[in-house]
């Protein structure tokens, strides 16, 4: 660093004159060109778009015929924009290492503005069925908002976050969100749903208890099930217990098309599936099989 006339712009008022070689590390072969801090900043920032596309902060010396790069210390010293890009690159590299650790990479777009939150993100995850994309945080929030619907449907079918999109979220994006749930408290519901659905599938595939004796849990929001053949039924996920007589699956009249009248307002109700808990438009809640009030 020295004061004096800048050899590039000829000014004495644009910051101290900095020599590229003086700021290079011991293992970097840098050139001996010098310029004032403002000239270095200008030549650094004109190359940041290319560095961003390459995902590597490597700035070439602007002197014609010089094939050397500017010292990283010099680049970061003269440009705040370069510092911000370096931080973004570090976050991006960390993201790739985390994805590779789990052995899966969803479709991605690098360095873009998230169409949901409008924030600049180093990685946008793309839904490969429709190519709608968003940053990690927006996918997590979207997935978490759909957990109650998935629990009611007793399956992992998340609708894509694209406006009016009818595609479901691709499996690699879901798996990525489940991995994030290990470090994100906000995504814990996603991980819990995934574990419960896996447990439900295992219960459904039990060869000793075929589908005819399987009963969905009557507890709202639970995706579990129990087995008939005992005095009571117990859900193997939440451990809710209820008498066999209150199990919709044990009554032959619990078939699509069966009509009953609401005990509250006497309106006709058709049951087309689901658990024993019914809610009428009048607000009355009751058990379908016994017509007793739901507690």
Structure tokens given for 47: 């190359």
Q: In the predicted model, is pLDDT for residue 274 greater than 70?
A: no
Residue ranges with strand state E in 84-170: 108-113, 120-126, 133-134
Among the listed residues 194, 201, 200, the one whose alpha carbon sits nearest the alpha carbon of residue 177: 194
CA distance 135 to 162: 13
Write down the H helix ranges in 154-227.
Answer: 171-180, 188-204
CA atoms within 13 A on the CB side of 116: 19
Structure tokens given for 46: 């004109």
Structure tokens given for 207: 């060869």
β pairing state of 241-243 and 258-261? unpaired
Q: Where are the domains of the chain?
A: 17-87, 102-198, 206-250, 258-287
CA distance 118 to 91: 18
Please check whether residue 30 is in contact with residue 24, taking contact to mean a CB–CB distance below 8 angstroms. Answer: yes
Q: In the predicted model, is pLDDT for residue 6 greater than 80?
A: yes
User: 278 Cβ partners below 8 Å, 6+ apart?
Assistant: 269, 271, 285, 286, 287, 288, 294
Please check whether residue 106 is in contact with residue 58, taking contact to mean a CB–CB distance below 8 angstroms. Answer: no
What's the mean pLDDT when you consider all of the chain? 80
β pairing state of 285-287 and 277-279? antiparallel
Q: In the predicted model, is pLDDT for residue 24 greater than 70?
A: yes
In tens, the pLDDT along 26-63 reads: 777 789 999 999 999 999 999 988 887 777 888 999 99
pLDDT of residue 197: 92
pLDDT of residue 256: 43
In tens, the pLDDT along 88-108 reads: 778 767 666 665 554 445 556
- When pLDDT is averaged across residues 132-146 and rounded to a whole number, the result is 85
pLDDT category of residue 257 using cuts at 50, 70 and 90: very low
Among the listed residues 228, 272, 269, the one whose alpha carbon sits nearest the alpha carbon of residue 254: 272
Paired strand residues for 285:
279
CA distance 197 to 33: 64
pLDDT category of residue 253 using cuts at 50, 70 and 90: very low
Please check whether residue 149 is in contact with residue 171, taking contact to mean a CB–CB distance below 8 angstroms. Answer: no
Q: How many helices (H) and strands (E) does the chain have?
A: 8, 13
Helix (H) or strand (E) holding 279: strand 277-279
Paired strand residues for 134:
125
- Which 3 state secondary structure label does DSSP give 226? strand
């Amino acid at each position: 660093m020295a004061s004096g006339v800048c050899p590039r712009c000829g000014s004495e008022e644009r910051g101290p004159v900095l020599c590229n070689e003086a700021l290079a590390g011991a293992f970097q072969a840098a050139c001996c060109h010098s310029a004032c801090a403002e000239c270095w900043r200008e030549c650094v920032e004109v190359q940041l778009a290319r560095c961003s596309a390459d995902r590597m902060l490597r700035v070439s010396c602007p002197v014609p015929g010089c094939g050397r790069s500017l010292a990283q210390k010099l680049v970061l010293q003269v440009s705040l924009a370069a510092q911000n890009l370096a931080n973004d690159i570090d976050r991006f590299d960390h993201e790739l290492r985390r994805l590779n650790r789990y052995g899966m990479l969803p479709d991605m777009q690098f360095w873009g503005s998230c169409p949901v939150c409008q924030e600049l993100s180093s990685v946008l995850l793309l839904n490969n069925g429709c190519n709608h994309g968003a940053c990690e945080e927006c996918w997590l929030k979207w997935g978490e908002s759909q957990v109650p619907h998935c629990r009611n449907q007793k399956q992992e079918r998340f609708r894509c976050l694209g406006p009016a999109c009818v595609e479901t979220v691709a499996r690699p994006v879901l798996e990525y969100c489940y991995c994030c749930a290990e470090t994100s408290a906000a995504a814990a519901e996603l991980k819990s749903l995934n574990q419960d659905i896996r447990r439900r599938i295992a219960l459904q595939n039990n060869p000793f208890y075929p589908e005819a004796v399987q009963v969905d849990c009557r507890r709202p929001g639970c995706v579990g099930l129990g087995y008939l053949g005992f005095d009571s039924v117990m859900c193997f996920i939440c451990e809710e217990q209820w008498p066999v007589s209150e199990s919709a699956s044990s009554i032959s009249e619990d078939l699509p098309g069966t009509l009953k009248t609401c005990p509250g307002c006497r309106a006709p109700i058709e049951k087309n599936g689901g658990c024993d808990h019914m809610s009428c438009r009048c607000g009355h809640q009751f058990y379908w099989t016994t017509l007793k009030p739901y507690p």
